A and B are shown apart, each in its own frame.
Chain A
């Protein structure tokens, strides 16, 4: 059953334009000029119940605008959208009871109150009874391990603790769909991993549908089974994570610092990207060669340091976008 359905969803913004300098400023008063920006341009997709979907793209691609239309914050200029069978435009308040939102860059908690008081507050906002709220706080405190700081004012919490509380607060009313907009932004790797684990657990145990946007490839890799990539307001890819990995994440970047300058033997599946003195960076196509076979090509005795990483998400997005652009003849 589809919980989110978007058909030909569009949103345009009129953005003021001003020529440079004082002359431009004066001209803008008498002859204001605007430019129409197509933030979201006829986007169509659906999300199944219990699915964890990554909705990604570069900055300004239209991700957050789409989330804001799905949650009823922004009015679409065109198209149709339904979340849990509810039209967010017409019944935003009714929908609010069914969904949860976490915007990593915005705090929804009241910083002068403790997480406990915040949870009580959100319980009341979502019309839960006192008993229900208490029960729910106990459950969430247990899942998110909040007991140690549940009575500390939010302003005194670390960022990781605060994000845990933000997510817990957005779940107080047991939402069926949770929108996460960069939930791990600014967190250290350990806290990021904890948050991911909690999101996975929540999806598994509560069967919550997760709609995630993130620039962190770790979030996407570890949480999502399906990925939708948007750029310039349009969907450029909608596919399973497995398919994406097979096609795009089958390349690893290996950076090696050698004790002395050595030539690497040419091998199929290895592409030298950069060489500077004793530093070598090469790309391994894991669909052609296993990474450990590639490492054997380097004389282990002469290796001083080694680093293996995935291709950055931005590169993948760019690659997908460029290939789509070429395919469309752009």
Chain B
């Protein structure tokens, strides 16, 4: 395991040089949040109104937290490097080292989001406190439960993105599948909470990664309950196990199909 810690640390060292680049993403984040603050201001006609069980403050904080996870977990490694490695044949020069390629990528990805996510967390807190106010009924102890869920959610997200990228072993371009996955997460779980959608869709949505990646962690911060926490944690553990299995299978099967261009 030490080698993966070293890979993680090396990426961390590398990414620390790019904190200014990461900070440039704050502009898009701020713009999106500004739009949503105004949108929900308009939608909530009177103070104390509830939409899908959320107060205005809860709703805006929900969007801010899911966007924070979304922006913080952005990674060129899992989205671009894996398909490029596979299609261009560069993977050949990575798999002949004594590490397991999917874990190598996961360690790199962790090194990336470990810099980005805390930066976005600070920005979210500053924007939230100054423009929206504190989260209603929020207790800091909640974070002890929510932070591990965010970590698990981001890891599950990375694992599924790696799985989609590994489809490049079979197809020319995995980008359409990345696009579908991204849009599903963005529209269904990030911009709007699951409760906004018809009740008949809830069981289906609970079976998708949306529930574990962004909805679950954000829900715990804006409206914590032990029951919800255990439910989300269980779903995340299951998703982690399933994702891990799919990743192993795809890599094992795909590796045998490896075609290396240029010799």
B251 to chain A, nearest CB (A): 12
Please count how many residues in chain A sit with their CB below 8 Å of the partner chain's CB atoms.
Answer: 31
- Are the C-beta atoms of B259 and A13 separated by less than 8 Å? yes
Complexed CA–CA distance, A75 and B262 (Å) = 16
- Are the C-beta atoms of B97 and A113 separated by less than 8 Å? no
Q: Which residue from chain B places its CB closest to the CB of A126 in the assembled complex?
A: B98
Q: Find residues 2-53 in chain B having any chain A CB closer than 8 Å to their own CB.
A: 2-3, 6-7, 10, 13-14, 17
Task: Select B95's contact among A73, A97, A103, beta carbons within 8 Å.
Answer: A73
Task: Select A103's contact among B93, B99, B255, beta carbons within 8 Å.
Answer: B93
B218 to chain A, nearest CB (A): 33
- Are the C-beta atoms of A121 and B14 separated by less than 8 Å? no
List residues of chain B with CB within 8 A of the CB of A65: 260, 263
A243 on the B face (CB < 8 A): no
List residues of chain B with CB within 8 A of the CB of A99: 96
A92 on the B face (CB < 8 A): yes
List residues of chain A with CB within 8 A of the CB of B96: 71-73, 92, 96, 99, 101
Complexed CA–CA distance, A73 and B257 (Å) = 11
Known A-B contacts A75-B256, A106-B90, A124-B6; A96 and B98 likewise in contact (beta carbons under 8 Å):
yes
Q: Which residue from chain A places its CB closest to the CB of B256 in the assembled complex?
A: A75
B135 on the A face (CB < 8 A): no
Task: Select B10's contact among A60, A103, A106, A117, beta carbons within 8 Å.
Answer: A117
Complexed CA–CA distance, A239 and B95 (Å) = 32
- Are the C-beta atoms of A63 and B14 separated by less than 8 Å? no
Complexed CA–CA distance, A64 and B90 (Å) = 13
Most chain A CB within a 10 A radius of its CB, from B14, B96, B98? B96
A74 on the B face (CB < 8 A): yes
- Are the C-beta atoms of B93 and A125 separated by less than 8 Å? no
B104 to chain A, nearest CB (A): 9
List residues of chain B with CB within 8 A of the CB of A117: 10, 13
- Are the C-beta atoms of B260 and A127 separated by less than 8 Å? no
A68 on the B face (CB < 8 A): yes
B258 on the A face (CB < 8 A): yes
Q: Which residue from chain B places its CB closest to the CB of A67 in the assembled complex?
A: B263
List residues of chain B with CB within 8 A of the CB of A93: 98-100
17 CB < 8 A contacts A-B: A64-B260, A64-B262, A72-B96, A73-B93, A73-B96, A73-B260, A74-B260, A96-B96, A96-B97, A97-B98, A110-B10, A112-B13, A112-B14, A113-B10, A113-B14, A124-B3, A127-B2
- Give 18 new A-B contacts, CB below 8 A, not counting A64-B262, A101-B96: A60-B263, A64-B260, A72-B96, A92-B95, A96-B97, A96-B98, A99-B96, A101-B93, A103-B93, A106-B93, A110-B14, A113-B10, A113-B13, A113-B14, A121-B7, A125-B99, A127-B2, A181-B263
Interface residues of A (CB under 8 A from B): 13, 60, 63-65, 68, 71-75, 92-93, 96-97, 99, 101, 103, 106, 108, 110, 112-113, 117, 120-121, 124-127, 181
User: 5 shortest A-B CB distances, which residue pairs?
Assistant: A64-B263, A124-B6, A96-B98, A73-B92, A112-B14
